[in-house]
Copies of this chain bind each other. A is one copy, B any other.
Amino acid sequence: MRPAGRDAEGRVPATPSIEELRTIAREIRRLVLTSVHHAGAGHLGGPLSAADMLAALYFHFLRLDPARPDWPDRDHFILSKGHSAIGLYATLALRGYVPVDELRTFDAIGSRLQGHPDMTATPGVDMSTGSLGQGLSPGVGMAIGAKLKGASFRTWVMLGDGEMQEGQVWEALEVAARYRLDNLIAVIDHNRLPQYTWPDFGQRGREFPVQNLAGKCAAFGWRVLACDGHDMDAIVRTFDGATRPDGRPTAVIAHTVKGKGVSFMEGAFAWHAKPLDDEALTRALEEIDAQTGLSAPPAGASR
């Protein structure tokens, strides 16, 4: 059985229904798990925490045309937390940019689906990323460029919270505010974990990678919105607010859980990136499917 709306190639067309977006997010999670299992490498925590927002963006908010990935007036999207590439690829596949089956080439030599997003390799990838902290700046460039051109597209950038420790991000926030880039939206995946994190030694405790994100972004002159990054209703409402310009760039702080959807990965920094063995995959997929309400996994997804 296919999730509602899935075509013969396994792609899901854009849809505005909250319920369908939820289904797509669960499907993204399945594809993340199966692809990482198949590749024997890749990140899990970050892609899983971003899945709901990727679904909302690609199936509801972004103005785009999968047949024309270079359409100049498309909304632009940059996955600054580039290590979550497989989440983006799963989304792009479901949206029709690449065949879903091609996800099985993730991380393989010669693949269009590189370990980190490569704009020269993958249709639909608007900027190469992977070195953290770099994605917002090209987003600022795109937003300035849109203003210079009089173009109406928006630029969305998704960042990790650990990534917000990189100074370049704050350079970009400052410049974006100065240029009053109300066509720029940063979505911060605030899952409270980076990779190794701040360790649990001494008195310092295993702290968040970054404190007071909302206060910081506001101090830098940005409009700040927040939502539960796993509540599709809230995501849609908040992203919707973000697209109503008020003269400033907008930061959406999405409160998320790293590894969301798989109990043993949730909040576990060890699952940031880790090969997934058969047994773990089975357990993980079972959990996801229990949430989907799908009676059976879609064909091919658990190969």
Contacts and interface: CB of A to CB of B under 8 A. Distances in A.
Number of copies: 2
A177 interface: yes
Given A211-B221, A216-B219, A220-B216, A171 B178 contact: no
A75 to B, nearest CB: 26
Interface string A158-191: 0000000111111100100111000000000000
Contacts of A169: 167
Contact of A221 (B167, B179, B198, B212): B212
Contacts of A221: 211-212
21 contacts: A133-B167, A165-B174, A166-B167, A166-B171, A167-B167, A167-B169, A167-B170, A167-B171, A170-B170, A174-B210, A177-B211, A178-B204, A178-B207, A178-B211, A179-B204, A212-B221, A215-B218, A215-B219, A216-B220, A218-B219, A219-B219
Given A178-B207, A212-B221, A216-B216, 19 more contacts: A133-B167, A165-B174, A166-B167, A166-B171, A167-B167, A167-B168, A167-B170, A167-B171, A174-B210, A178-B198, A178-B204, A179-B204, A211-B221, A212-B219, A212-B220, A215-B219, A216-B219, A216-B220, A218-B219
The 3 A-B pairs of least Cβ separation, nearest first, read: A167-B167, A219-B219, A170-B170
